[in-house]
Structure 1
Amino acid sequence: MKIFTIIGGVNGVGKSSLTGILKALRNDMGIIIDCETCENADPLSADCLEKGIDFTEETTLSGKKTLKTIIAAKEKDYYIRLYYVAVSSAEESVRRIENRVSKGGHNIPEEDVKRRFSHRYDDLLTILPYCSEVHFYDNENGFEEVGEYGNGTLTVTAEVPPKWLCDIKNLI
């Protein structure tokens, strides 16, 4: 089975950190492509699809690129798996990005983060129907799996779910 894994969420929520954790636990993530920092993300994804190689994209889910890749992957019989990670606010994302920059990491303009944060649910809901498997992680205080989605149903697995997960559940 060919697998297209998506690590999705707004800038600064911990997508790369979650990718590192998952990579240590799984052997089916294939080539890992960070769409934020990789200039060759589109050709790499297209090459993986053409060759039938498992691959993973870290992405904010904003724009149309992820949806186009998902549709192309579905046409080639890929299994689509999403790990969605979130924090409580745009301000928390901005703070984490500032911390990352102070350690030599890449910056994202604050206005971009806030814009993406305001559209995060729409971006997620656009791709959700295409996903075979979805895991939701809260990264407010370390990664905690808080929910799963499949067959049109979001199942909350956390005793006390984060507000953002409740918001998503109400939109589905």
Structure 2
Amino acid sequence: MTGNTNGAARPQLLVFAGPNGSGKSTINKSVREHFSGEYVNADDIARTLTHIPDARERNLQAAEMARQQREQCMAEGRDLAYETVMSTEEKVADLITAHRAGYLVSLYFITTDNPDLNVQRVINRVAQGGHAVLEAQIRQRYARSLNLLACAVEKADNALVIDNSGSRTEIVARKKDDQYEYSVTALAPPYLEACYQSLKEREESLKFLTQGHQAWTFADASHGREYAGEGVITAWHIGLITPGGLEIHDRQLLSHVQQSGDHFQLAYAYQHGKRVQ
């Protein structure tokens, strides 16, 4: 993926993503032993907001404060790490925003092969004093997060997909220098096979759209962004020709697509992080 790489050292963004109860916090502590940048965690912030008695209000306030801290850090070009369930489209759009701002984006996606495991782990966490998540939310976020997995991996410079189902973690997919490696076998979990197929199709889509274009980038997919112009559409993407080169739009993130011949009108909109349709 092309971007704002001018030869200078790029600031680092580490994103630890995956469904509730997958073990993100445990793994990110190990990775961050070698990371000197700022770490922003909404759960940590929530624990300091003892003056807010309502748990839901406390968590909402913490999430907003975490968002502001992330944006401030990125505006100053500082190294940053954070956690996210990544169950909403806007969280993937954030990866594009970071890359366009010059960040080297490394995604660590931690999951299990069965949402029942996630539910039980959250129950165990609550028994030890951790924060609770409703079972229905855990299952819904599990499905949404895995549905966005290939989309997120595509937007990262580097990515590791880590299966944390058993007693030992296993790296089941890897992306580095735009090259993919998979551990897809007959025993591979269904989510990995689905990710593998989606990434293969996405790779072919990008190859088709970018042939003949030396410069291209993923378009800014922030809330409220609108675009219009001549382009080409595939199952996964829309490529629009702009004065600065080819811009690729991800159809999984777009809220509005209107096509008339080769002309497109596109828009991005999110509500509570979810794509407005």
TM-score, with length taken from structure 2: 0.56
1:34 and 2:41 are equivalent in the alignment: yes
In the other structure, the counterpart of 1:12 is: 21
1:132 and 2:136 are equivalent in the alignment: no
In the other structure, the counterpart of 2:3 is: none
* Displacement of 1:100: 0.4
Give the Cα–Cα distance (whole angstroms) in 1 for the partners of residues 28 and 101 of structure 2. Answer: 24
1:167 and 2:194 are equivalent in the alignment: yes
Q: Deviations over 1:7-59 (max 9, x none)?
A: 110000000001111112x225x212224564121011001111111111111
Q: Deviations over 1:87-141 (max 9, x none)?
A: 0111110000000000000111111111111222322233222210001111112
Is contact 1:138-1:162 (8 Å) kept? no
Give the Cα–Cα distance (whole angstroms) in 2 for the partners of residues 165 and 35 of structure 1. Answer: 28
In the other structure, the counterpart of 1:101 is: 126
In the other structure, the counterpart of 2:71 is: 46
Is contact 2:126-2:132 (8 Å) kept? yes
Is contact 2:89-2:148 (8 Å) kept? no
Larger Rg belongs to: 2
Local SS of the residue matching 2:148: helix
In the other structure, the counterpart of 1:149 is: 175
In the other structure, the counterpart of 1:118 is: 143
Residues 135/105 of structure 1: CA separation in 2 closer, same or farther (3 Å cut): same
Q: Which has the higher helix share?
A: 1
Segments of structure 1 that go 5 or more residues without pairing to the other structure are: none
Choose which of 88, 104, 107 in structure 1 pairs with 2:113.
88
Task: Provide the alpha-carbon RMSD of the alignment.
Answer: 2.1
Structure 1 stretches of 4+ with a deviation exceeding 3 A read: 35-38, 150-154, 157-163
Is contact 2:174-2:181 (8 Å) kept? yes
Identity across the alignment (%):
21
Choose which of 21, 25, 45 in structure 1 pairs with 2:30.
21
Is contact 2:184-2:193 (8 Å) kept? no
Give the Cα–Cα distance (whole angstroms) in 2 for the partners of residues 154 and 89 of structure 1. Answer: 24
Q: Which has the higher strand share?
A: 2
Give the Cα–Cα distance (whole angstroms) in 1 for the partners of residues 44 and 109 of structure 2. Answer: 19
How many residue pairs were aligned? 170
Segments of structure 2 that go 5 or more residues without pairing to the other structure are: 1-9, 46-61, 200-277
TM-score, with length taken from structure 1: 0.87
Give the Cα–Cα distance (whole angstroms) in 2 for the partners of residues 48 and 54 of structure 1. Answer: 8
Q: Structure 1 stretch 85-94 or stretch 31-40: which is displaced more?
A: 31-40
Give the Cα–Cα distance (whole angstroms) in 1 for the partners of residues 42 and 85 of structure 2. Answer: 8
* Displacement of 1:151: 5.9
Is contact 1:36-1:58 (8 Å) kept? no
